[in-house]
Amino acid sequence: MSNKRISYYDNLKFILIFFVVLGHFLLIQLNFKLSLSIFLFIYSFHMPLFVFITGFLGKKIEDENGKFRINKVFSLLIIYFIFKLLCCFICLIFKVPFEQSFFVEQECPWYLLAFALWMIITYILKNIKPKYLLIFSILFALLVGYDTKVGDFLCTSRIIVFYPYFLLGYYLSKDNMKKVIDFMKARKMKIISFIVLITMIIVFYIFANNLSFLKTIFTGRNCYAYLETPFDIPFKGAVMRAFSFVLAIITSLCLMALIPTRKRFYTVFGSRTMQVYVLHYLIFLIMNHLGLLVKINDVFGNYSFLVAFALAILTTFVFSLKCFSIPFNKIMNLKFNKIFIDSGDNNG
């Protein structure tokens, strides 16, 4: 793949991690119409597209010898447990109640656990034809919302709901991905994409309060029993989740059309999204427990979004610095081969 293509993916990942950070800072501002509308817009696509890119760029779940990349799974789990411990430690300092089980996760660490489990699931199911696996994963995601027992244990609900996006990325070839991007990069499509995105933001702003129920659908962690819509239609839970799938795909394609293909000053930061994902949330927790985010709302009122935007930019750039990547790179490069029995050495 050319450097130009690599720059494109890094640009996309950087923009997405910025939206992740901004989305978290907006969580405390949802009483303000502007913040709520931007929050809904971001959550309509940012995690589906991030999961899709994760699947696309993480195709090699097997090494050159055909063995499962267990090292990467263990590394992800280590970072997940450290992340979880740090979140718990912060809550202890501020005497805030927190979930004490390492296997129940409601907040930010869920993605690391989900990534590891998506790799394992995909490897186990690798002999199923992609089109059938994708269809089954979509149907499963639509139906799982009716089970009130499926929730945050092992991030089960989110793993199931977002798995179709991972599969889409995992099975999409590089050539087909290039065709999609080239098509969306046509001048006419870029204009259409810009209009669509602006229209979505306007619609979310005008109908923000009426559409606030979409938070339940966009997060992927709630069953349909928690879904309170201003209308009543048959199978509304599955219908709304199917709608969210379509909306995520359309919005993601439109955003992809506007992402620069050439190297930019922030391109290099696109390779360091994991450290931003982890560290920004720790700062968010500290600021929240100190009451700083609430004070921002009290002082700036409807203009609090501008402060959240500035905080998101600052946090994203600061934690993208190379010095913060050192511990993450060391963990991701750990080797666990010595703890496993090599079948080639077992003469039975």
pLDDT of residue 347: 47
What is the helix (H) or strand (E) element at residue 299, kind and residue range?
helix 292-300
Q: Let me know: does 303 contact 29? Beta carbons within 8 Å.
A: no
In a domain, 341, yes or no: no
Residue 259, CA distances (Å) to 54, 185, 193 in order: 17, 9, 11
Q: Give tens-digit pLDDT for 219-251.
A: 999 899 988 888 888 899 999 999 999 999 999
d(CA 254, CA 193): 4
In a domain, 240, yes or no: yes
In a domain, 131, yes or no: yes
Q: Let me know: does 274 contact 17? Beta carbons within 8 Å.
A: no
Number of CB atoms found within 10 A of residue 28's CB: 19
The structure's pTM equals 0.93
pLDDT of residue 6: 76
In a domain, 344, yes or no: no
pLDDT tens digits in sequence order for the chain, 348 residues long = 444 457 999 999 999 999 999 999 999 999 999 999 999 999 999 999 999 999 999 888 887 777 888 999 999 999 999 999 999 999 999 998 887 788 888 899 999 999 999 999 999 999 999 999 999 999 999 999 999 999 889 899 999 999 999 999 999 999 999 999 999 999 999 999 999 999 999 999 999 999 999 999 999 998 999 888 888 888 999 999 999 999 999 999 999 999 999 999 999 999 999 999 999 999 999 999 999 999 999 999 989 999 999 999 999 999 999 999 999 999 999 888 777 666 555 444
Output the DSSP codes for 24-84.
Answer: HHHGGGTTSHHHHHHHHHHHTTHHHHHHHHHHHHT---B-TTS-B-HHHHHHHHHHHHHHH
In sequence order, the 6+-apart residues with CB closer than 8 A to the CB of 265 are none
pLDDT of residue 5: 53
What the block records as the tokens of 313 is 């930019």
d(CA 180, CA 185): 9
In a domain, 343, yes or no: no
pLDDT of residue 233: 85
Number of CB atoms found within 10 A of residue 57's CB: 12
How many structural domains is the chain composed of?
A: 1
pLDDT of residue 59: 81
pLDDT of residue 340: 67
Q: Let me know: does 214 contact 40? Beta carbons within 8 Å.
A: yes
N- to C-terminal Cα separation, the chain: 44
In a domain, 69, yes or no: yes
In a domain, 346, yes or no: no
Domain that holds residue 22: 3-335
Q: ∠66-70-73 over CA atoms, to 5°?
A: 135
> How far from the centroid of its chain's Cα atoms is residue 313's Cα?
18
Helices 110-124, 70-93: inter-axial angle, 10-degree rounding = 160
In a domain, 188, yes or no: yes
